[in-house]
Amino acid sequence: MSVVDRLFPEPLPSVADLKARFPNRALADDAMVTRVGPSPTGFMHIGTLYTGRICAQFARRTGGVSILRIEDTDKKREVDGAVGFIIDAFDQFDVAFDEGADRNKTDRGAYGPYRQSHRGDIYQAFVRSLVEQGLAYPCFSTGDELNAMREQQKASSIRTGYYGKWALWRDRPEADVVAALDAGIPFVIRFRAPGNHETKLTFTDLIAGERDLPENDVDTVILKSDGLPTYHMAHVVDDHLMGVTHVIRGDEWFSSVPTHLQLFDALGFDRPHFAHIAPIMKMDGTSRRKLSKRKDPEATVGYFEELGYPSEAVMDYLLTLMDPEFETWRADNPDAASWDFELTMKGLQSSSGPLFDFDKLGSISRDVIAGLSSDAVYTRLLGWATTHDADLAGLMTSEKDKVTDILSIERGGPNARKDFAMWSGIKPDLAYFFDDRFDLSRETAQQMLDYLTPDELGRLVQEFLDSYDPSDDSATWFGKLKELGGKHGFALRPKDYKKNPDDYKGAVSDVAKIFRVLLTGRERSPDLYSVMQVMGPDQVARRCALVF
Ligand code: GLU
């Protein structure tokens, strides 16, 4: 048996068969084929959603194809159910891919499988062809040997890595390989790097622009001892076979580009375009840093869902981070689908390393919720509550009509209420409408209304109730409040009143505050007239009775 057959004992497809199985895509010249390649580690970084959306946005706009590829060659990091978790997260944020991994272990598209662990024979076939051409070789160095080598390199202050004279198995006689195979020593396959570290190559990235990078001389591992490829090999083979035109990925891969270009060339594949995206950053004290999975809850996609930011608000916010032009576009096209926005590489270039800003997200989110009908708010809030707040879901179901009425307050039109930024923040605004969830003591009310004596307060409230007619329209209701303010100005604003008793306009806001406090327990509330309408005369009277 030849050495190559011993390295690859299982039957493998031929490279020619593979080329036939993955034919060129028949697409227009400017159509972009893009892919996002999350690893199923059980954690979905906001950057994965960000990159996925960028990939899908370009593909849609250019009539191309977007692909969701599961990069699960690192079995040690894999977590059960993590693929479903990734698919759900993209779904939740309405990022759909044309091809790729789907639920129930099915795939969509003709260029699959779309899970790298199901493509083992494909990678092996290409690795085998590299070995046959002398462009790759087996390496039997053990972990201990490699560590010792690294220590020695460090001690001598030289660049660490498996290159040049340190590449111990690069030119070993075949007899050594046979002996190692006979001894059953595990091996990896390394790429025979053709580069010279002293020489620079010029590479043009669609975002980072033209850059000079040192050529790669490290004999990178391309096939691990478990028979699965490393990222470097897998991405090159997949991106070629899947017809990917634009490799859009995080810029942590930028320094590996020289290796990747060598692999594309060695395999005889056309090089795709590369676009390396700057990561989302945050301020930490006075310095900027990448969002960190360990330190920042906002690094996780699930965090936004838990807090209940509407998914389209998160997406609009991410689009503002991707491309500074998005905000102007959104202001001009408030109702358009964000998929219609023409994202550009130039935009991505100018957004470099955008800072995450919760205030901005909150303001976008408030606008989004303000634009929803009360039925939509009800449905979406209930959807969120069903997963995250059973008590709220129960209240919403048992008191559906009243909750819908509450949610209708100040909804619709240009002055729609903008105080809701996330579903998790709404409950307190519903709760005070229900007697069993409302708890205001006379003392607290009196403290909040300390500009009135208890007597004055009682008199004012009584007078209001005497004239209150729930069938009044909002203007009549307001007129009555105003009249009351005028009449009691002395009590409400003694200084203002004394200054100019004849011209005193009436402290309507002070009168309103009395009822706002008694009805809601707060100094701020949505439109008080609507609050009273939703509560109805009995509940209004019950709450006012606190002061008698
Ligand atoms: N699996 C890689 C990662 O999670 C994907 C990189 C790529 O998009 O090529 O970083």
Q: Is 249 in the pocket of ligand 1 (CB under 6 A)?
A: yes
For residue 35, being part of any structural domain is answered with no
For residue 55, being part of any structural domain is answered with no
CA 13 – CA 9 distance, rounded (Å): 12
Instruction: Give kind and range of the element (H or E) at residue 67.
Output: strand 65-68
Least confident of 250-254, 450-454, 526-530: 450-454
Q: How far is CA 237 from CA 22, 37, 124, 263, 502, in A?
A: 11, 13, 10, 9, 87
Q: How far is the CA of 244 from the centre of ligand 1 (A)?
A: 14
pLDDT of residue 344 exceeding 70: yes
Q: How far is the CA of 267 from the centre of ligand 1 (A)?
A: 20
Q: Which two tokens stand for residue 47?
A: 């950057």
Pocket probe for ligand 1: among 39, 53, 71, 277, the residue whose CB has the most ligand atoms within 8 Å is: 71
Q: Is 39 in the pocket of ligand 1 (CB under 6 A)?
A: yes
Q: Is 37 in the pocket of ligand 1 (CB under 6 A)?
A: yes
Q: How far is CA 164 from CA 108, 217, 255, in A?
A: 44, 7, 19
Whether residue 350 is found in the same domain as residue 325: yes
Mean pLDDT for the stretch of residues 410-418:
87
Find out whether the peptide bond into 428 is cis, omega within 30 degrees of 0: no
pLDDT of residue 421 exceeding 60: yes
Confidence of residue 325 (pLDDT cuts 50, 70, 90): very high
Give the percent of the chain with pLDDT over 70. Answer: 97
For residue 379, being part of any structural domain is answered with yes
Tokens 């002070």, residue located: 510
**Residue 146 CB-density burial (10 A; 0-12 exposed, 13-18 middle, 19+ buried):** middle
Number of domains in the chain: 4
Examine the fold and report which residue of 277, 294, 318 is the final residue of a domain before the chain moves on.
277
Q: Residue 277: which of 43, 53, 31 has the closest Cα? A: 53
> Given this model, what pLDDT does residue 163 score?
98
Pocket probe for ligand 1: among 49, 228, 230, 249, the residue whose CB has the most ligand atoms within 8 Å is: 249
CA 298 – CA 291 distance, rounded (Å): 8
Would you give the DSSP letter of residue 38? Answer: -
Give the percent of the chain with pLDDT over 90. Answer: 87
Examine the fold and report which residue of 338, 370, 402 is the final residue of a domain before the chain moves on.
370
Q: How far is the CA of 512 from the centre of ligand 1 (A)?
A: 58
> Given this model, what pLDDT does residue 491 score?
61
CATH number at residue 485: 1.10.10.350
> Given this model, what pLDDT does residue 446 score?
94
Could you list the residue range(s) of the whole structural domain that residue 415 is in?
A: 374-431
CA 359 – CA 292 distance, rounded (Å): 19
Confidence of residue 251 (pLDDT cuts 50, 70, 90): very high
Mean pLDDT for the stretch of residues 308-312:
97
Q: How far is the CA of 37 from the centre of ligand 1 (A)?
A: 5
Amino acid symbol at 485: G
> Given this model, what pLDDT does residue 81 score?
85
- Residue 229 sits at φ, ψ, to 5 deg, of -80, 165
CA 204 – CA 83 distance, rounded (Å): 33
Ligand 1 atom nearest to CA at 235: 9
Instruction: Give kind and range of the element (H or E) at residue 221.
Output: strand 221-223
Nearest CA residue ID for atom 5, ligand 1? 37
Amino acid symbol at 279: P
Nearest CA residue ID for atom 4, ligand 1? 38
Amino acid symbol at 351: S
> Given this model, what pLDDT does residue 104 score?
72
Least confident of 30-34, 286-290, 388-392: 286-290
pLDDT of residue 3 exceeding 90: yes
> What mean pLDDT value characterizes the chain?
94
Whether residue 137 is found in the same domain as residue 273: yes
* CB neighbour list of residue 336: distance below 8 Å, 6 or more residues apart: none
> Given this model, what pLDDT does residue 414 score?
79
CA 389 – CA 386 distance, rounded (Å): 6
Confidence of residue 529 (pLDDT cuts 50, 70, 90): very high
Q: Which two tokens stand for residue 417?
A: 């209420």
Amino acid symbol at 120: G
Least confident of 3-7, 307-311, 436-440, 448-452: 448-452
CA 361 – CA 368 distance, rounded (Å): 10
Whether residue 388 is found in the same domain as residue 468: no
Q: Which two tokens stand for residue 200?
A: 């620079």
Whether residue 129 is found in the same domain as residue 273: yes
Q: How far is the CA of 76 from the centre of ligand 1 (A)?
A: 16
CA 474 – CA 536 distance, rounded (Å): 14
Q: How far is the CA of 232 from the centre of ligand 1 (A)?
A: 10
For residue 36, being part of any structural domain is answered with no
Rounded to a whole number of angstroms, the CA Rg of the chain reads 33
Examine the fold and report which residue of 339, 370, 401 is the final residue of a domain before the chain moves on.
370
Q: How far is the CA of 247 from the centre of ligand 1 (A)?
A: 10
> Given this model, what pLDDT does residue 456 score?
87
Q: What is the pLDDT of residues 457-515, one digit of tens each?
A: 999 999 999 999 999 999 999 999 988 887 876 566 656 665 666 665 557 888 899 99
Least confident of 169-183, 196-210, 284-298, 395-409: 284-298
Nearest CA residue ID for atom 3, ligand 1? 38
Q: How far is the CA of 251 from the centre of ligand 1 (A)?
A: 10
For residue 385, being part of any structural domain is answered with yes
Tokens 């593909």, residue located: 59
Instruction: Evaluate whether 280 touches 298 at the Cβ level (below 8 Å).
Output: no
Q: Is 235 in the pocket of ligand 1 (CB under 6 A)?
A: yes
CA 228 – CA 117 distance, rounded (Å): 7
Find out whether the peptide bond into 113 is cis, omega within 30 degrees of 0: yes
Instruction: Evaluate whether 4 touches 132 at the Cβ level (below 8 Å).
Output: yes
Whether residue 255 is found in the same domain as residue 337: no
> Given this model, what pLDDT does residue 355 score?
93
Ligand 1 atom nearest to CA at 48: 4
Q: Is 71 in the pocket of ligand 1 (CB under 6 A)?
A: yes
Whether residue 406 is found in the same domain as residue 499: no
Q: How far is the CA of 274 from the centre of ligand 1 (A)?
A: 13
Q: How far is the CA of 51 from the centre of ligand 1 (A)?
A: 10
> Given this model, what pLDDT does residue 42 score?
86
Ligand 1 atom nearest to CA at 239: 9
For residue 17, being part of any structural domain is answered with no
> Given this model, what pLDDT does residue 452 score?
85
* CB neighbour list of residue 482: distance below 8 Å, 6 or more residues apart: 506, 508, 511
Pocket probe for ligand 1: among 231, 257, 277, 293, the residue whose CB has the most ligand atoms within 8 Å is: 231
Whether residue 442 is found in the same domain as residue 322: no
Whether residue 522 is found in the same domain as residue 484: yes
Whether residue 201 is found in the same domain as residue 315: no
* CB neighbour list of residue 321: distance below 8 Å, 6 or more residues apart: 50, 280, 351, 354, 356
Q: How far is CA 391 from CA 386, 394, 544, in A?
A: 9, 5, 28
Mean pLDDT for the stretch of residues 274-302:
93
Ligand 1 atom nearest to CA at 35: 8
> Given this model, what pLDDT does residue 501 score?
62
Amino acid symbol at 472: D
For residue 303, being part of any structural domain is answered with yes
Confidence of residue 43 (pLDDT cuts 50, 70, 90): confident
CATH number at residue 312: 1.10.1160
Whether residue 394 is found in the same domain as residue 424: yes
> Given this model, what pLDDT does residue 228 score?
95
Confidence of residue 75 (pLDDT cuts 50, 70, 90): confident
Q: How far is the CA of 39 from the centre of ligand 1 (A)?
A: 7
> Given this model, what pLDDT does residue 495 score?
62
Q: How far is the CA of 38 from the centre of ligand 1 (A)?
A: 6
DSSP string, 374-410: HHHHHHHHHHHHHHH-HHHHHHHHHTHHHHHHHHHTT
Ligand 1 atom nearest to CA at 252: 10
Whether residue 124 is found in the same domain as residue 268: yes
Instruction: Give kind and range of the element (H or E) at residue 289.
Output: strand 287-290
Give the three-state DSSP class for 119.
helix
Chain centroid to CA 92:
10
Whether residue 387 is found in the same domain as residue 476: no
More confident residue, 79 or 230: 230
Would you give the DSSP letter of residue 185? Answer: -
Tally Cβ neighbours within 10 Å of residue 226.
12
What does the CA dihedral 151, 154, 159, 161 come to, rounded to 10 degrees? 10
For residue 536, being part of any structural domain is answered with yes
Instruction: Evaluate whether 45 touches 301 at the Cβ level (below 8 Å).
Output: yes
Amino acid symbol at 208: A
CA 509 – CA 198 distance, rounded (Å): 76
Confidence of residue 56 (pLDDT cuts 50, 70, 90): very high
